[in-house]
Structure 1
């Protein structure tokens, strides 16, 4: 059993990961600005602002695993990267492994090819800044962390989000930084992404790596 802290634990990906980890018997703390609409039995919920380093430090201090599920929008539009760099620094200080929920656009269509984020013509202009900020974590910020920090950046298939929740099948595919999904981007449900995500935590086979999950 691991002590897992999920930053953004009441959001779409965060709540699914919280439920999956708790269901497997892990000691789970969900840190979020908002209270859960459907609390999971046995989970400790802590309300707080992710831009408040002291609040983050308090929940990360005793963690074995820290999961960041934050999104570069809303209150974090301008501070997303700074907050994630703080989370990484605190996880390293605590000796915890760090897992980050990434985005599809940071993946590559084939080995050695440019990442999808390098050509955003397929993405609405109003979310370009959000996509770029999310990809910057794996392109710049995480690789720049000390070697002592074990991190895994976990991208979902293209069609992933509350707009397409899907169903729990128990099946998923895992790849590295090359998308394992079909050319149309594929999909993965929130529940199946969480299954794969917690499997990655439990198996511990990846270190300072970019992986992706798809159905």
Structure 2
């Protein structure tokens, strides 16, 4: 049976890549967004994230949260939107997979320092990293949801090439053999769909970097 997945904010750059990857693998994909569908998703529901109901997300094997907010006044939406989606799938078998950020990855074995707290982390991205980290912290408190938070590498390239290869990491910033922390949106989508298809992670954060 083909897996049924929903992608929230499917019209965003990450959402589009994930939809394309999932459809290419034979998944039954329903996209949710506020604008006209221009993605590979076979089905589309034009609806604001905060207007979604339990009924909208019922029956899916997985729900992918590809929502993003980037302006100062909208940054708190990372937490409120994620908690809303968590409420909608709470107590069900539906897995909630979150397109996360890299700033909350740890750079030490003791897990005391986040990437966003290191000297070379760009100041412009610190508010976003903080907001996404706070959303992850709230998600960690949820024992009623089958969630997986997937952080990309530090250099997350929207137009990067698809290689189909990646290294799976955990809570810590992982470098590839070339000493880089980089991944394309296309390869991130491969990792996301792999996790939906055959992954066994639950209630944990994983991370991916180009192999």
TM-score range normalised by the length of the shorter chain: 0.7 to 0.9
1:153 paired with 2:154, answer: no
1:60 paired with 2:52, answer: no
SS at match of 1:211: strand
Match of 2:188 in 1: 193
1:48 paired with 2:43, answer: no
Q: Distance in 2 between matches of 1:46 and 1:195?
A: 24
Could you tell me whether the CA contact under 8 Å between 2:33 and 2:49 is conserved in 1?
A: yes
Could you tell me whether the CA contact under 8 Å between 1:5 and 1:59 is conserved in 2?
A: no
Could you tell me whether the CA contact under 8 Å between 1:29 and 1:45 is conserved in 2?
A: yes
Q: Return closer, same or farther for 1:89/1:103 CA change in 2, 3 Å cut-off.
A: same
Which of the pair is proportionally richer in strand?
2
Q: Provide the aligned length of Structure 1 versus Structure 2.
A: 207
Q: Distance in 2 between matches of 1:193 and 1:59?
A: 26
Give the superposition deviation at 1:21.
0.8
1:171 paired with 2:168, answer: no
Which of the pair is proportionally richer in helix?
1
Q: Return closer, same or farther for 1:34/1:185 CA change in 2, 3 Å cut-off.
A: farther
Match of 1:204 in 2: 199
1:142 paired with 2:136, answer: no
Q: Which consecutive unaligned segments of at least 5 residues does structure 1 have?
A: none
Give the superposition deviation at 1:127.
3.5
- Give the alignment's Cα RMSD to 1 decimal: 2.2
SS at match of 1:151: strand
Match of 1:3 in 2: 4
Q: Return closer, same or farther for 1:179/1:124 CA change in 2, 3 Å cut-off.
A: closer
Match of 1:15 in 2: 16
